[in-house]
Amino acid sequence: MTEVNRSRLLKLGVSSCLLGEAVRFDGNHKLDAYITGTLGRFFDFVSICPEVAIGLGVPRPAIRLEGDPVHPRLVGVHDKSLDATDAMNAFSARQLQTLDELSGYILKNRSPSCGMERVKVYGEHGQVRYGSGLFARALMTAYPLLPVEEEGRLGDPDLRDNFLERVFAFRRWQNLLATGLTTRALLHFHTIHKLSLMAHEAEAYRELGRMMAAAGKRPLAQLADEYIEAFMRALRNPATTKRQTNVLHHLMGYLKNSLQREDKVELLEIIEAYRQEQIPLVVPITLLKHHFRHYPHPYVAEQVYLNPPPEEMLLRRGGV
């Protein structure tokens, strides 16, 4: 891949240790081969290690979160005079001003600075509660729409697929804003994601449809803000087999006057096999795409659900 091509890749923020950088407190790293190998072919990484950035050094004393899980302190495990809370908060405030181009972020799990959730927070008497790392919390507060995930959860195929879908969808939104927000552009964005929304949450599909019915009657910037917040929230809701099956049947409806009886029977059997989790989603998707090549439909042709960009399709369909 040429340098020019790489300059066009989506940008992901990644905890530095996951990229093989020896920045851990013990001088080691946590290289993640999926991130560097597979995702590295399609994304440019912005590497950040908050603990090194605030001058804690490598190796460094172990630190942890203590106190109130909502507003914990970042302090030394053994050296109680070490309190990095203010330095971490100040760094986060500066760093977060530079991340507008990111389309997603992968954090190191259980880290007192980078952990997204379930990070141990120690109470005064040794009791353990859970919260988020200081930098991670600041990141998610400053960029509530940004798709964020931990590397450990990417081992779950469903969570990984959900994260990637959100990343690519968010990038399309960023591109929309970069080219100029118009009512027409907003309506088009909604239209091409209709089936994707249906697969995630039926009520959100209806809610966003009602929002778009008001397009042109409300201030556009306000409508767009409300829309993308509800849109990204809907995509965080996992796409279930039941909802996916509903979308597949919905797509089949556009072929009802085109397919021969034996083709309809075959497609119904394939969809049913998916519903019973005997085959992966890619099988009925592939068959539907085959039929729509012979019997094209303009609405279906622009649906991201069936026709994602090549890189998204490769990553989300197990083709890499």
Task: State pLDDT tens for residues 77-89.
Answer: 999 899 999 999 9
Neighbour tally for 254: CB within 10 Å:
16
Rounded Cα–Cα distance for residues 267 and 252 (Å) = 8
Neighbour tally for 1: CB within 10 Å:
8
pLDDT in the model for residue 124: 86
User: Does the pLDDT of residue 320 top 60, yes or no?
Assistant: no
**What are 22-79's pLDDT values in tens digits?**
999 999 999 999 999 999 999 999 999 999 999 999 999 999 999 999 999 999 999 9
Rg over alpha carbons for the chain, rounded to the nearest Å, is 22
Backbone φ and ψ for 178, nearest 5 degrees, come out as -70, -35
Whether 6 contacts 42, CB under 8 Å: no
Whether 237 contacts 201, CB under 8 Å: yes
H/E run at residue 285:
helix 282-294
pLDDT in the model for residue 4: 32
**What are 197-255's pLDDT values in tens digits?**
999 999 999 999 999 998 988 999 999 999 999 999 999 999 999 999 999 999 999 99
Share the mean pLDDT of the chain: 94
Determine the distance from the C-alpha atom of residue 85 to the mean position of all C-alpha atoms in its chain, rounded to a whole number: 28
Rounded Cα–Cα distance for residues 164 and 4 (Å) = 23
**Residue whose pair of structure tokens reads 């300059």 in the numeric block:** 7
In the chain, domain spans? 3-155, 157-236, 241-316
Whether 261 contacts 228, CB under 8 Å: no
Whether 130 contacts 122, CB under 8 Å: no
pLDDT in the model for residue 3: 40
Q: What number is the average pLDDT over the span 143-154?
A: 97
pLDDT in the model for residue 306: 94
Whether 123 contacts 68, CB under 8 Å: no
Residue 6 banded pLDDT, cuts 50, 70, 90 = low
